[in-house]
Amino acid sequence: MTARRNTLLELLPESVYANWKFEFEYVDLPMGKVLCEPGSIVSHIYFPTSAIISWVHVLENGASTEIAMIGREGLVGFYLLSGAAHSPNRAVVQIAGQAIRIRLSSVLASLQEEGMSLQKIFLRFNQVLITQMAQMAVCNRHHTLDQQLCRLLLLTLDRQDGNTINLTHEMIANMLGVRREGVTNAASRLMKEGGINYSRGRITVLDTCELQKRSCECYTVVKKAYDRLKEVPNKLMKY
């Protein structure tokens, strides 16, 4: 695993990266592993390199919906850098893979020492994270389940290598906050159009263009926001 597979770690000032690399912990994250629960105290920040983390809001009755998807473009635990003492939501591994974690105290110390150079990188990520959360809220309210499914699959593809996604219909239903039967019907329609193939919890995307055609504008809005994170640091600082 290489730390530079994570966009935010790639954008770090060299002085920060030189200090952090001795504290990096390279961890394997199996599917379903819960990194934090609502109200829990979190001691580490996670930078996924191949794992994909679902940030889930849980209601009092136990129902839940994904409000953000975080992969190799970002970090898990940004709210802790904003002064929060506890996790407001659940973070669960949706796609198994690897991540790099570092103690929260080390990150906070670097924020004080490095000043605006590091803050601008994290604030830029916060901006695009908010864009994703807002767009997903609108999508879940105004767009069809077929469009939501295509949006979810496309955002997942952007955060992994290969075109096969290990997600069951039940897992997708939990992420979208809908009934499993609805996901099964939407996936069947997409299969008939030649967009995907599904077998025992493995979704293989056969035609990305078909998914993009059947998705709503939400995918494009979120993708463009995250693509801006890949810009070199001197360009990033102009925002």
Question: Model confidence over 11-42: pLDDT tens digits?
Answer: 998 889 999 999 999 999 999 999 999 888 88
Looking at residue 2, its pLDDT comes to: 59
pLDDT at 75 over 70: yes
Looking at residue 87, its pLDDT comes to: 85
**At 237, is the pLDDT very low, low, confident or very high (cuts 50, 70, 90)?**
very low
**At 81, is the pLDDT very low, low, confident or very high (cuts 50, 70, 90)?**
confident
CA distance 36 to 55: 10
Q: What is the CA 26 to chain-centroid distance, rounded?
A: 18
Residues 53 and 165 in one domain: no
Residues 168 and 155 in one domain: yes
**Dihedral sign, CA of 224, 171, 138, 237?**
negative
How many C-beta atoms lie closer than 10 Å to residue 53's C-beta? 26
Judge whether 197 lies within some domain. yes
Residues 110 and 228 in one domain: yes
Q: Name the DSSP class of 80.
A: H
Q: Is 206 exposed, middle or buried (0-12, 13-18, 19+ CB in 10 A)?
A: middle
Looking at residue 5, its pLDDT comes to: 87
**Dihedral sign, CA of 50, 188, 146, 171?**
negative
DSSP structure string for 11-69 = HS-HHHHHHHTTT-EEEEE-TT-EEE-TT----EEEEESS-EEEEEEE-TTS-EEEEEE
Residues 25 and 100 in one domain: yes
Residues 24 and 61 in one domain: yes
Domain residues for 122? 3-139+222-232
Residues 14 and 123 in one domain: yes
Residues 100 and 12 in one domain: yes
pTM attached to this predicted model: 0.90
Residues 155 and 106 in one domain: no
Judge whether 74 lies within some domain. yes
pLDDT at 61 over 70: yes
- Does residue 3 or residue 95 have the better pLDDT? 95
Judge whether 238 lies within some domain. no
Judge whether 61 lies within some domain. yes
Looking at residue 116, its pLDDT comes to: 80
Residues 15 and 124 in one domain: yes
Residues 32 and 89 in one domain: yes
Judge whether 239 lies within some domain. no
Residues 112 and 7 in one domain: yes
The domain that contains 45 carries what CATH number? 2.60.120.10
- Does residue 237 or residue 81 have the better pLDDT? 81
Q: What is the pLDDT of residues 158-202, one digit of tens each?
A: 999 999 999 999 999 989 989 999 999 999 999 999 999 998 889
Instruction: Say whether 97 sits in a helix, a strand or coil.
Output: strand
What total number of domains does the chain contain?
Answer: 2
Looking at residue 1, its pLDDT comes to: 54
Strands (E), 49-149: 52-58, 64-70, 90-95, 97-103
φ and ψ at residue 171, rounded to 5 degrees: -65, -40
The domain that contains 177 carries what CATH number? 1.10.10.10
Residues 148 and 191 in one domain: yes
Judge whether 237 lies within some domain. no
- Asked if residue 12 lies in contact with residue 232, where contact means CB atoms within 8 angstroms, the answer is no
